[in-house]
Amino acid sequence: MSLLLSPHSFAQSSEQPVDNQSKSDRQDDSSKSKAAPFGFPVRILEEPEESESSKRQQKESAEREEKDLVAQESMANSTEQIVLWTKLQFVLAAAGTLALLYTIHLNRRATKAAVEASDAARDALGAERAWIANNTITRAFLTNAVIDDVLEPEAFGFLLEWKNFGRSPAILREIISHHRITAPDEPVPEFIMPETSFTPRTSLIAPGVGFQSGIQAIRYSEYTQLQERKQRLYIYGRVRYSDTFNPELVRETQFCAELQFNGVEEGDGEERPRTFLNPVGPQNTAT
């Protein structure tokens, strides 16, 4: 039994590989047939109108790109020109600023020269103008002098003398004088003269010519106390005048001094007190 079956079984076993190989071959053929399907060749044909339209579009696109490039180049050139003009404007502005500064410098020099010329003219005019100042004081003993509406048999009188020390005539406008007696320890008085306390005068004072203010007098008893240094005597005078260069400009000279006594002296057969003036206080001015 076994022997009979053996060849049969061998035959089956030998046939099995062939069947397996044929199956695999069929599978390969099926895969190849699936991998390479059958197809028809396709050829795309364009119409002439479509080809011309495509060429025209390409040409227009190229022209647009060329125009864009030209526009970019033009914009770049314009930008360079703007930068150039900006630099040029800056240079011109700097040059204009330098020219303006130089003009200002020249104007300052011209102004300085004009001021110097004006100062020189004013100095020249000041050298030629009229100058009135106090020259001296005249003093003398008086008899039968009226002081404060009282007749004094003996008195001491004095007056200020003025002089035009300038080089041109002076037009005298007004002249006043006043005095005050104080205690030795009192400060220098301030003379405030009301405008109605004098009579305006108008007269011409030539260069080098002197003139006098009104005479003033004190009682002999006051003079004695002044000699003994128990009192002090202050004299004040003011002159207002113009010069011929500018008659509308009124100038003023003030003089304030203490009249100090130092005995008596004789001259021309007369006895006179020996005195000297000591300018004091702020009322010694001239314009």
pLDDT score at 128: 84
Q: Is residue 56 part of a domain?
A: no
Q: Is residue 115 part of a domain?
A: no
Q: Is residue 149 part of a domain?
A: yes
Which residue in 261, 251, 260 sits closest to 280, CA to CA? 260
Q: Is residue 229 part of a domain?
A: yes
Q: Is residue 271 part of a domain?
A: yes
Distance CA 32, CA 15 (A): 26
SS3 256: strand
pLDDT average per 10 residues of sequence, the chain (287 residues): 41 45 50 50 57 76 80 83 86 88 88 76 70 90 90 92 94 91 94 65 87 91 91 94 88 94 73 83 93
pLDDT score at 45: 52
Strand order in the sheet with 246-267: 203-205, 170-182, 232-243, 246-267, 270-279
DSSP, res 269: T
CATH number of the domain residue 240 falls in: 2.60.40
Parent domain of 164: 132-279
Q: Is residue 101 part of a domain?
A: no
DSSP, res 229: T
Q: Is residue 2 part of a domain?
A: no
pLDDT score at 283: 94
Q: Is residue 86 part of a domain?
A: no
pLDDT score at 26: 52
How many separate domains does the chain show? 1
pLDDT score at 9: 42
